[in-house]
Structure 1
Amino acid sequence: MQTVDVLVVGAGLAGLHTARLLARRGLDVMVADRRRSLSAGIRTTGIFVRRTLDDFDLPDRLLGPGIRDVLLYPPSRRSPVRLTSDRDEYRVADMAAVYEHARRAAESAGARVLLGVRYDGMSAGLVRFVGAEPVTARFVVGADGARSRVARDLGLDVNRRLLVGAEIVHPIAPGRTAPAFHCVLDPRVAPGYLGWVIDDGWHAHVGVAGYPGAMRTGIRHLLDAFAEDAPGRSAPTGPVERRGGPIPVGGVLRRLACPAGLLVGDAAGAVSPLTAGGLDPCLRMSELAAAVAADYLRTGDARVLRRYDGGALRARFRGRLLLRRVFAGIRSPAAAEAAVTALRGRAGRTLAARILFGDGSFPDVGPRLAGPVRSA
C-alpha cells in the first residue's frame, strides 16, 4: 500500500495545476483519474478569457486566434447586438493538448499521475479505488467535478445549482474570416442560459446549456435543433465530437476545506455564476488551495485552513449571483427579445461589455486572501 502526502482525485485543469504547485513545494503528490486518456470525456469548450491569458503561462500553440467580437442574438436571431473590444478577449484552446501539457508539468514537478483509476471512497485517510490498490493520504484534494463524491466523503459542501451543457465540435472550412463569439438568448433551447457558437481556428463549437428541470425535451434534442440553424455555424465536415456535462452556477461553496482535505475547480463551485466560465477561477483558486494545503501540512495547524474560505469569495460577487437569478427568470421568448432589446441602449451595452469584457468575471484570489506562501 502506498502512502502519500496529498492525493488529488481528478486530472482536470484544477487538479493537475494544484498537484503541480504542491509537488513544487516538496510534497509527495499523487493524482488519480478514472479516464484512461485525458483526451476522453472533455466537458468544457475551452474558452480562456483575457485575464487568464495575461496572468498564466499557457503555450500559444495550444490556443486559437484571438476573439474580439461578441454577437448577442434574441430568439428571433435577427438584428444581433454586436460588441467589439479593442483587445483579444477570448481564445479557445485545444483542451486535450492543454490537459496533456498540464499533466507533463505536474509530472515534471514530481507528481505521479495515474489514469484508469476510479475513486471508490475513503475513511480515516485510506482512499479506495476500483482498478488499483488503496492509498493512504495525509490530505485529499477533491477535483472530481461538479457532482464531487470526494466532497461528500469529506463532509464538505456540495453543488446544488447546476446547468447542464452539451456541444458539438466539428472541423471548420479553411479560409474563414476572423472568429467571433455568437451567443443566443432563447429559453426554448437554453432555459436560464444561452446557446453559443465559437471556433478555435480549427474546430467550431456549437453548444447549449440550461437548467436540467426546464429541459423537458432533453439536452441532446435541444442541441441538435439549435445546431441546424445556429448563427455563425459553418457546415460540418468530417467526424463530429460531442461533449458536455454539469456546470455549477450557485457560486463558490462556503465550506471548502477540513483537516482531511479540500476542494478545487468545479467541485468547489469555482465557476463564475453568471457567465459559467470556469477555467480562469479554477486556476486562481488552485493557487490559493495549494498554498493553504502546503502550509497546513507543514504546520499541522488547522487554523491555516480558514484562509481557504468560500464565504469570503462569495461576498465579492453578490451582484453576479443576483444577475444569475435574473437570467434564470427569463422564461419566455418575448422576455428574451425584450432583454436583448434593452442591451441595444447605451446603458445596456455598457453592462454587457462589462460582463463580457471586464476583469470581474471571477474575484481575484490576491494576497489578502491567500496569505504568505511558504516553502514546505
Structure 2
Amino acid sequence: MDTVDVLVVGAGLAGLTTARLLAEAGLDVAVCERRTSLETGIRTTGIFVRRTLEDYDLPHLGPAVRRVLLYPPSHERPVELVSDRDEFRVGDMEGVYAAAVEEAERAGARVNLNSSYPARSTRARFTIGADGARSTVAKNLGLDVNRQLITGIEEVYPVSTGSTPTFHCVVDPRLAPGYIAWVIDDGEHAHVGLAGRADRFTAPLPQLLQRFRDSFPAPEPAGPVKRRGGPIPVGGLLRRIVSPQGLLVGDAAGAVSPLTAGGLDPCMRMSELAASVTFDYLRSGNKYVLEHYDGAAMRRRYLLRSQLRRGLSLVRSPSVAEFAFTLLRSAPGRAAAKQILFN
C-alpha cells in the first residue's frame, strides 16, 4: 500500500493549488480525481476578480471586462456600471486546470485521474477535501457539509462580435429564483447561464436556459457550444472544516461568497492558509496548530453578504424585482452595486 503525507481529493483549482504548495514545502503529496479528464465536469464560469488578478499570476485569461449592465425582468432601462480598472477576466478553465496540474507535478505532487476516494491503494497521514460542494471527504471526516445550495447551468462558446466586453446580469425570479441569469461576453467567448434555488425552478434547467436565450440578445455562437453546471454553496464558510485527520478547502469548505457566488478568489487564498496549517501540523504534531484554520472565526467575514443573500432570496416576483431597480437607479443604489461588484 502506498503511504503519503497528504492526500488531496479533487483536482480543481483549490485542490491543485494546495497540493502544489505542500509539495513545494517538501511533503509527499498525491491528488486523486474521479474524472478521467479535467476538460469534463467543469462547474465554474471562471470569473476572476480584480483582487485575484492583482495578487496572482494566472494563465489562460480572456480580455478584461470593465462594464457591467444590471437588468430587471423587463430588460428595460438597465443600470450601467463602468470601472476605470480591469474588474474581471474570464479564464479558460480547461487551460487553467492543465497549467495547475503541470505546476503541481513539477513541484513533486502526483496527480491521479480516474482515481476514487477512499482509495484502497493509498494511505495518508492527512486528507484534504477539495471535492466540491457535496464533499465526500467532509462526510467521512465528520466535518460540516454544505446545506444551502443553488444550482446553475451555463453554455460557453466562441464569438466574433467585436463588442465591448460586458458582464450582463439579469434579475428575474421566473428564470433564476434567488440568484441571476447572466451573459458574459468578453469579445472572445460568451458565457450564457443562470442559477437559482432548485426548489423554485418552474421548469427543467435546459428549458429555462433556452427561454433566457430567446428573451435576451445573447451573441451568436461562432463555434461549438459547451455546457456546464452544478451545485454552488451559498451558505458561507462552514464552521467545522478541520480535524486531526484532515481539512476542507474551496467549495467543500463553503468558501464562496453567499451573495455573488464567487469562489475562485477565496479558494486560492484558503488554499494558501490550508497548506501552511497542514505543513506546520504534520511537522510539529501539535494539534493546536489546527486552530489557525478556524471556519467559525473566518465565517464572520461573510455576515453582511449572508444577510444580502437572504434579501435576494426574498425577491420572488418580477414586480418586486422591478421595484428594487428603482432603488438601484438612485445614486446610493448605484454606489452600493459598485461596491458589491467592483470591491
Scaled by the length of structure 1, the TM-score of the pair is: 0.90
Q: Which residue pairs with 1:98 in the alignment? A: 96
User: How many residue pairs get matched?
Assistant: 343
Local SS of the residue matching 2:335 = helix
Whether the aligned pair in 2 keeps the contact of 1:92 and 1:199 (CA below 8 Å) is no
* Correspondence for 1:118 among 104, 111, 116: 116
Q: Which residue pairs with 1:10 in the alignment? A: 10
Q: Bigger shift: 317-326 or 183-192? A: 317-326
Q: Please give the alpha-carbon distance, in whole angstroms, between the structure 1 residues aligned to 2:55 and 2:109.
A: 23
Q: Please give the alpha-carbon distance, in whole angstroms, between the structure 2 residues aligned to 1:225 and 1:168.
A: 13
Local SS of the residue matching 2:300 = helix
Deviations 1:127-166 (A, max 9, x none): 43xxxxx211000000000000110000000000001010
Counterpart amino acid of 2:11?
Answer: A
Deviations 1:334-358 (A, max 9, x none): 0111112210001100100000001
Q: Please give the alpha-carbon distance, in whole angstroms, between the structure 2 residues aligned to 1:100 and 1:65.
A: 20
Q: Please give the alpha-carbon distance, in whole angstroms, between the structure 1 residues aligned to 2:134 and 2:12.
A: 14
Local SS of the residue matching 2:262 = coil
Measure how far apart 1:170 and its partner are: 1.6
Which runs of structure 1 show a deviation greater than 4 angstroms over 4 or more consecutive aligned residues? none
Whether the aligned pair in 2 keeps the contact of 1:192 and 1:331 (CA below 8 Å) is yes
* Correspondence for 1:293 among 278, 289, 292: 278
Q: Which residue pairs with 1:221 in the alignment? A: 207
Q: Which residue pairs with 2:330 in the alignment? A: 345
Measure how far apart 1:237 and its partner are: 3.4
Q: Which residue pairs with 1:139 in the alignment? A: 126
Scaled by the length of structure 2, the TM-score of the pair is: 0.98
Measure how far apart 1:323 and its partner are: 0.3
Deviations 1:173-224 (A, max 9, x none): 2x51221000000000000000000034422100000011111312221111
Pair 1:204 & 2:207 matched: no
Whether the aligned pair in 2 keeps the contact of 1:49 and 1:90 (CA below 8 Å) is yes
Counterpart amino acid of 2:293?
Answer: Y
Whether the aligned pair in 2 keeps the contact of 1:63 and 1:200 (CA below 8 Å) is no
5+ residue gaps, structure 1: 122-126, 129-133, 359-376
* Correspondence for 2:229 among 230, 236, 244: 244
- Give the root-mean-square deviation of aligned CA atoms: 1.0
Q: Which residue pairs with 2:216 in the alignment? A: 230
Q: Which residue pairs with 1:87 in the alignment? A: 85
Whether the aligned pair in 2 keeps the contact of 1:93 and 1:200 (CA below 8 Å) is no
* Correspondence for 2:321 among 336, 343, 346: 336
Q: Please give the alpha-carbon distance, in whole angstroms, between the structure 2 residues aligned to 1:153 and 1:80.
A: 47
Pair 1:261 & 2:246 matched: yes
* Correspondence for 1:303 among 285, 288, 306: 288
5+ residue gaps, structure 2: none
Whether the aligned pair in 2 keeps the contact of 1:256 and 1:263 (CA below 8 Å) is yes
Q: Bigger shift: 342-351 or 211-220? A: 211-220
Q: Which residue pairs with 1:370 in the alignment? A: none
Counterpart amino acid of 1:21?
Answer: L
Q: Which residue pairs with 1:374 in the alignment? A: none
